[in-house]
Structure 1
């Protein structure tokens, strides 16, 4: 569940071709300007300011909390802010649409992308990645009283609700389920609770966030899929910030900060 000389255009095209990940805003360009956790006196990581790009529309990872005056918050925001503090740097955030985020990284508009970027070989060929700070798997969600489905194999002959363009729809189809198309996770859960489908397959982070924020006890995570992915911060190839971020992440892992942030958003530690 990842934005102009000719070289930059080529990199942008490559980034767009690789955009099947956790984010996915359709428009191009910078949204909402930038916000800063501390006043910034420099626009460069080497000047004591870590410039961070995120969508700002991807809860619970990076979003603007309207109940808190529109403040940028979220799991990824908290983790990269803690990293910057560990490095002795101020952090400056910029909202960027997913389709533009890697082109901006290549153009040097910011130092790091913090937006649940899934690590894969194609992206590793183009960008530096930090040590992963999130590990996610596929989750099978059923009604709480359903004991018939506990694994992918049990989906055979069942009906699931899935976004038809997601990889989870393919997982369900390959398992022998009949897939009913929905717009997103919330609609899938609604159909599940109404008894119109037997299950839905999705990223476990989405399921954990839903269960924690809603307190809904009528559905449960009944099993998992073999799929596992890791998310990390993306930086320009050869960035001297990469080892420094890794060092900070190691310290935050060791002192329990990452586990604390994970528990705040998901009710358990998803950082390992």
Structure 2
């Protein structure tokens, strides 16, 4: 019986296909990719003082210093990409960067979609008004007025919820970046700006002759955190960043940065927690 060379080639091909099918599949690992590149790429908006802002073209704020410490713990450099806030989360999902600095308020809906690090600051929403505006003494006084907030932000949604409880309609103006909202407030074009308490406290402290904080905050108690994608390959990176963040929490470096940039150390939850909204 003669051997058919085509039959032999067919067997060889089938054997190779079987080996490929049986071979363990290499899964993507974002932490391994970051360490191999030696760089953690972070998406942010540098119009969000005191977390991220530009001073004479140079990045300043809590994010720059905190991510430098996290990068040191991971043994990698950190590179920031500055974008308008409405483009940041879509950029994360498109894998244009590894994580988002923001920070962003942790909500139930966002936890379904993203993987968060432990919170780094309180984020309860409050109001910023003009320093000489005697018409607003408490949050409810914005009834019938025009108030600004960041487009696509959780603070905007909290403002809408609060405004719906007031006896007169609140006209809400949405801004692509917060500096534009603060400029309109300073010029008297709007009556107040809704943002998280650490942000407006910083703005009011920097320009106390122009702005003042309306007390008390009107939003439900909430927290700021950094986040990444919720796909399988990102789990290792977020876990390692959380481990590094826990170390900064334990040795007091996080509290020191909170005092420097937010005015006081903040009690934030560690580990998984249930957001209030």
Equivalent residue, structure 2, for 1:174: 165
Higher RCO, Cα 8 Å, sep 6+: 2
Question: Does 2:55 correspond to 1:65?
Answer: yes
In structure 2, the CA distance between the partners of 1:218 and 1:95, relative to structure 1 (3 Å rule), is closer
Partners in 2 of 1:172 and 1:161 — Cα distance?
A: 11
Determine which of 137, 147, 155 is the counterpart of 2:141.
Answer: 155
Determine which of 249, 253, 256 is the counterpart of 2:252.
Answer: 256
Unaligned runs of 5+ in 1: 1-42
Partners in 1 of 2:219 and 2:71 — Cα distance?
A: 34
Partners in 2 of 1:201 and 1:254 — Cα distance?
A: 32
More helix by percentage:
2
Q: How many residues align?
A: 220
Equivalent residue, structure 2, for 1:46: 35
Tell me the C-alpha RMSD between the 2 structures. Answer: 3.4
Aligned-pair CA distance for 1:245: 1.1
TM-score normalised by structure 1 residue count: 0.65
Matched position secondary structure for 1:252: helix
Is the contact made by 1:162 and 1:181 (CA closer than 8 Å) also made in structure 2?
Answer: yes
Aligned-pair CA distance for 1:222: 2.3
Aligned-pair CA distance for 1:224: 1.8
Unaligned runs of 5+ in 2: 1-31, 176-180, 269-277
Is the contact made by 1:112 and 1:235 (CA closer than 8 Å) also made in structure 2?
Answer: yes
More strand by percentage:
1
Aligned-pair CA distance for 1:46: 2.4
Equivalent residue, structure 2, for 1:109: 96
In structure 2, the CA distance between the partners of 1:103 and 1:252, relative to structure 1 (3 Å rule), is same
Question: Does 2:219 correspond to 1:232?
Answer: no
Equivalent residue, structure 1, for 2:8: none
Determine which of 114, 119, 124 is the counterpart of 2:106.
Answer: 119
